Amino acid sequence: MARYIAQRLVLMVITLFVIVSVSFFVLHSMPGSFINDPRMPKEVKKAIEDKYHLNEPLIVQYGYFLKDFVRLDFGISIALQPKVNVNKILATKIPVSMQVNIFSLILSIPVGIILGIWAALKKNKIPDHVISILIIAFISIPSFVFASLLQYFIAFKLGWFPIVVTTEQTLTWSKFVSMVLPILALSFGSIAGIARYTRAELCEALNSEYMLLAKSKGLTQVQATTRHAMRNSFIPLANIIIPMFTGIMGGSLVIEKIFSIPGMGSVMVEAINAKDYPVAMGVLFWYSLVGLLTILIVDLSYGIIDPRIRIGGRK
């Protein structure tokens, strides 16, 4: 096992290096400059660009970048928040996004699973049809439509919740209340995804022969379902739930815009638009790292959940 993880980690480092290198060259080959003030004298512009080594050959710039990169230092932002360290910018933005996303996950995993189980048990009956219609609606209607509707009716018309999220950094009750609507808007999609998947997996497990044997042993439908069908149907569920955790850091561009959340959602796009190379590189790196780690965790989790992989691989 340890050997396997070590192997995977080495491969991960190589992958990361490739991702970062490719992104570096792609980002830097975009035309234009981060200074777009047309009145700025050419000499001044050149002086500023020289300061950031932007006029040197790309390969030299890449050398500078790598030197700092090994210390995980991405330098300072040049356009978005000039002269602030990139990692520091991210450190202020990520927690904000995380708060909203964690609550959204806490809400959507159990609700999604329960709806999925309910639909599977009542397959082809009214509850199943209702849930299936809701699932289709939640998946096909974009989250910003929900967000706008919630904001307009519940926050603006009824006034139950604040329209935008408060700017407090720490998590207080008032902050939580203001976050309820974006949490809801974010959750609908993942609830639908989880419910749909759970329903499909559980339906298959319910029709399996081991369920038949369990029932012929004298277990009731409920006992047989909870003891046998559920566990088997959760194995493939890990596949979609674990990646959701990686989404935590990301934040949603649209939802954060609508509710004025100062999170990660827009940083990447703004950084690229403003040609703020250090910020863009920093965001890309951290995202890739988390993404790769998630894939590793998913693969390892199969071994933990499924004895066939855990014990079978040991031979």
Partner 1 sequence: MKNRECILEVKDLYLTFNTYAGKVHAARGVNFSLNKGETLAIVGESGSGKSVTARAIMGLLPKNANIDKGEIIYKGRDLIKLSDREMTDIRGSDIAMIFQDPMSSLDPVMKIGRQITEALRIKQKVPAAEAKKKALRLMEAVGIDNVERRYNQYPFQFSGGMRQRIVIATALACDPEILICDEPTTALDVTVQAKILELIKEIQKERNLSVIFITHDLGVVANMEDRVAVMYAGKIIEYGTVDEIFKDPRHPYTMALLSAMPDLETDSSTELYAIPGAPPNLLHPPKGDAFAPRNRFAMRIDLEEEPPMFKVSDTHYAATWLLHEEAPTIDFDTFKQKTLEKRRKFKEKEKNNEESQKPILEVRNLKQYFTSGFGRRKLVVKAVDDISFDIYKGEIFGLVGESGCGKTTTGRSIIGLYEPTEGEIYFNGELISRGQKHKGSRKFTREISMIFQDPIASLNPRMTVKEIIGEGLKISKLYHEDEIMERVYKMLEIVGLSKEHANRYPHEFSGGQRQRIGIARALIVNPKLVIADEPISALDVSIQAQVLNLLNELKNEFDLTLLFIAHDLSVVKYFSDRIGVMYNGKLVEIADADELYRNPLHPYTKSLLSAIPIPNPDYERTRKHIHYDPSIHDYSEEEPKMVEVKQGHFVYGSASEIKEYTKSLEIYS
**249 contributes a contact to partner 1 by CB under 8 A:** no
**238 contributes a contact to partner 1 by CB under 8 A:** no
Strand, helix or coil for residue 85 = strand
Q: Return contacts of 290-294, CB within 8 angstroms, 24+ apart.
A: 290/246, 290/249, 291/246, 292/12, 292/15, 292/16, 293/12, 293/246, 294/242, 294/243, 294/245, 294/246
Helices (H), the chain: 2-28, 42-51, 58-69, 86-121, 126-140, 143-150, 173-206, 209-216, 221-224, 230-234, 238-250, 253-258, 267-273, 277-305, 307-312
**314 contributes a contact to partner 1 by CB under 8 A:** no
191-210: contacts with partner 1 (CB under 8 A)? 208-210
**Min CB(256)–partner 1 separation in Å:** 40
**133 contributes a contact to partner 1 by CB under 8 A:** no
**219 contributes a contact to partner 1 by CB under 8 A:** yes
**Min CB(211)–partner 1 separation in Å:** 9
**Min CB(311)–partner 1 separation in Å:** 7
**232 contributes a contact to partner 1 by CB under 8 A:** yes
**Min CB(121)–partner 1 separation in Å:** 12
| Count of residues near partner 1 by CB under 8 A | 25
Lookup result for tokens 């739930």: 241
Q: How many CB atoms lie within 10 A of CB 171?
A: 12
- Choose, by CB under 8 A, the member of 228, 258, 275, 285 that binds partner 1: 228
Longest dimension (CA), the chain: 87
**239 contributes a contact to partner 1 by CB under 8 A:** no
| Cα–Cα distance measured from residue 161 to residue 169, given in angstroms and rounded to the nearest whole number | 19
291-310: contacts with partner 1 (CB under 8 A)? 305-308
- Choose, by CB under 8 A, the member of 215, 238, 270, 289 that binds partner 1: 215
**127 contributes a contact to partner 1 by CB under 8 A:** no
**Min CB(128)–partner 1 separation in Å:** 12
By the criterion CB under 8 A, which residues form the site for partner 1? 208-210, 212-221, 223, 227-228, 231-232, 235, 305-308, 311-312
